[in-house]
Amino acid sequence: MRTLTQAIYTALISDAALAVLLNQYAGYPAVFTVDPAPKDAKPPYIVSVGEVSNRSGECKDGKYRIVTRDIRCYDNNTGSSELVEKIADRVIALFDRQPSALSLSDGVVSILDVSGGIALDDEFAFGRIVSLEIHIILN
């Protein structure tokens, strides 16, 4: 679902409150749709690539897809996870129950639920995972 990847990317880089929390990369907020992030990218940044799950079905409104996508937020381990938590909180606020946050050319988002930020910390980096569950009615 390439259009979904583009819609998530656009929503993330277009949010001014999120942009001030992230580093810059190539003149844009550091949001990547490749994994791993580029080697020269400096945290804090976000990675969102591929679906965790993607299932389809039919209903009275036509065909639909239910997609789960993780948005992973990272920062250097500097002794405090405050910044990465702020980033995850902003991602949650941006998407939770906000289906209009995603504009798709091949469907309409009818439901957008968010869960997370699940900790993904190690000795070098702080991480939080925010999961989006996206219900899309296909055109």
DSSP string of 15-37, one letter each residue:
-HHHHTTSPEETTEESEESSSSP
pLDDT at 80: 93
Phi then psi for 3, rounded to 5 degrees? -65, -30
The reported pLDDT for the residue numbered 139 is: 84
**Gap between the Cα atoms of 88 and 60, Å rounded:** 35
Identify the CATH assignment for 2-138 out of 3.40.640.10, 3.40.50.970, 3.30.2000.30, 3.10.450.50. Answer: 3.30.2000.30
Burial of 15 (0-12, 13-18, 19+ CB in 10 A): buried
Per-residue pLDDT reduced to its tens digit, 29-39:
999 999 999 99
How much is the pLDDT for 2? 81
Question: What tens digit of pLDDT does each residue of 81-123 get?
Answer: 999 999 999 999 999 999 999 999 989 999 999 999 899 999 9
Q: What is the pTM of this model?
A: 0.93
Label the pairing between strands 45-47 and 28-29: unpaired
